[in-house]
Amino acid sequence: MEKVRYEKIKDELNKHAHQYYVLDAPLIPDSEYDRLMKQLQAIERDHPDWMSEDSPSQRVGGKALKEFMQVQHELPMLSLDNAFTTEDLLAFDQRIKDRLKTVLKSTDDIEYACEPKLDGIAVSLLYIEGILVRGATRGDGKTGEDITANVRTIGSIPLKLRGKGYPGKIEVRGEIYMPKAGFEKLNVQAKKNGEKVFVNPRNAAAGSLRVLDSKITAQRPLEMCCYGIGIVESGKMPAKHAEILAQLGAWGLLINAEMAVKNNIQGCIDYYQQLEKKRHRLAYDIDGIVYKVNDLLLQEKLGFIAKSPRWAIARKFPAQEEMTRVVDVEFQVGRTGAITPVARLEPVFVGGVTVSNATLHNMDEVERLDVRVGDTVIVRRAGDVIPQVAQVVLEKRQGTPRKVKLPTHCPVCASVIERVEGEAVARCTGGLICNAQLKEGIKHFASRRAMDIEGLGDKLVEQMVDEQLIKSVDDLYALGLEQISALERMGDKSAQNLLAALEKSKKTTLARFVYALGIREVGEATAATLANHFGSLQAMMDATEAQFLQVNDVGPVVAHYLLEFFAQEKHRQLIKQLKKSGIQWQEGNSAVANSKPLSGLTYVLTGTLESLGRDEAKDRLQALGAKVAGSVSKNTNVVVAGPGAGSKLAKAEELGIAIYNEEMFLSHLKEKEGH
CATH number of the domain at 496, please: 1.10.150.20
β-pair partners for 605 = 640
Residue 605 lies inside a defined structural domain of this protein: yes
Spatial neighbors of 377 by CB under 8 A, at least 6 apart, are 323, 324, 325, 326, 343, 345, 358, 369, 371, 389, 390, 391, 392, 393
Indicate the helix (H) or strand (E) that contains 207.
helix 201-209
E-strand spans in 360-486? 372-373, 376-380, 388-392, 402-403, 417-418, 426-428
Contact 417, 426 (CB under 8 A): yes
**Residue 477 shares a structural domain with residue 460:** yes
**Residue 496 shares a structural domain with residue 618:** no
Output DSSP code: residue 362. Answer: S
* pLDDT on residue 250: 94
> Residue 377 belongs to a domain with what CATH number?
2.40.50.140
Output DSSP code: residue 401. Answer: P
What is the identity of the amino acid at 383? G
**Residue 257 shares a structural domain with residue 197:** yes
- Other CB atoms within a 10 A radius of the CB of residue 254 amount to 22
Active site residue 164: no
* Residue after which a domain boundary falls, among 296, 316, 336: 316
* pLDDT on residue 630: 79
**Residue 97 shares a structural domain with residue 245:** yes
Q: What is the rounded CA–CA span in Å between residue 401 and residue 251?
A: 57
**Residue 305 shares a structural domain with residue 327:** no
Alpha carbon of 262 to those of 105, 115, 173: distances in Å?
A: 18, 11, 22
Domain count, the chain: 5
Backbone angles phi, psi at 546, to 5 degrees: -60, -40
> Residue 116 belongs to a domain with what CATH number?
3.30.470.30
Alpha carbon of 223 to those of 1, 53, 246, 635, 654: distances in Å?
A: 36, 20, 18, 47, 44
Residue 270 lies inside a defined structural domain of this protein: yes
**Residue 209 shares a structural domain with residue 295:** yes
Buried b (16+ CB within 10 A) or exposed e, 585-609: bebbebeebeebbbbebbbbbbbeb
**Residue 309 shares a structural domain with residue 329:** no
Q: What is the rounded CA–CA span in Å between residue 196 and residue 368?
A: 9
Backbone angles phi, psi at 290, to 5 degrees: -105, 130
Residue 69 lies inside a defined structural domain of this protein: no
What's the residue count for the chain?
Answer: 675
Spatial neighbors of 466 by CB under 8 A, at least 6 apart, are none
Handedness of CA 343, 467, 454, 476 (dihedral sign): positive
**Residue 183 shares a structural domain with residue 232:** yes
* Residue after which a domain boundary falls, among 388, 403, 418: 403
Residue 553 lies inside a defined structural domain of this protein: no
Backbone angles phi, psi at 365, to 5 degrees: -70, -40
Write out the residue range of the structural domain in which residue 230 sits.
86-316
Backbone angles phi, psi at 253, to 5 degrees: -90, 150
* pLDDT on residue 212: 80
**Residue 398 shares a structural domain with residue 439:** no
Residue 539 lies inside a defined structural domain of this protein: no
* Residue after which a domain boundary falls, among 285, 316, 347: 316
**Residue 113 shares a structural domain with residue 143:** yes
Residue 416 lies inside a defined structural domain of this protein: no
- Other CB atoms within a 10 A radius of the CB of residue 9 amount to 19
Backbone angles phi, psi at 308, to 5 degrees: -155, 155
E-strand spans in 31-103? 70-72, 81-83
Residue 59 lies inside a defined structural domain of this protein: no
* pLDDT on residue 59: 62
* pLDDT on residue 592: 46
**Residue 227 shares a structural domain with residue 255:** yes
Residue 548 lies inside a defined structural domain of this protein: no
**Residue 371 shares a structural domain with residue 308:** no
Q: Which stretches of the chain drop beneath a pLDDT of 50?
A: 61, 591-592
**Catalytic pick from 10, 117, 627, 648?**
117
* pLDDT on residue 6: 80
- Other CB atoms within a 10 A radius of the CB of residue 448 amount to 9
> Residue 644 belongs to a domain with what CATH number?
3.40.50.10190
Backbone region of residue 112 per phi and psi (left: phi > 0; alpha: psi in -120 to 50; beta: other values): beta
* pLDDT on residue 589: 56
pLDDT per position as a tens digit, 619-656 = 888 878 788 887 888 888 999 988 877 788 888 888 88
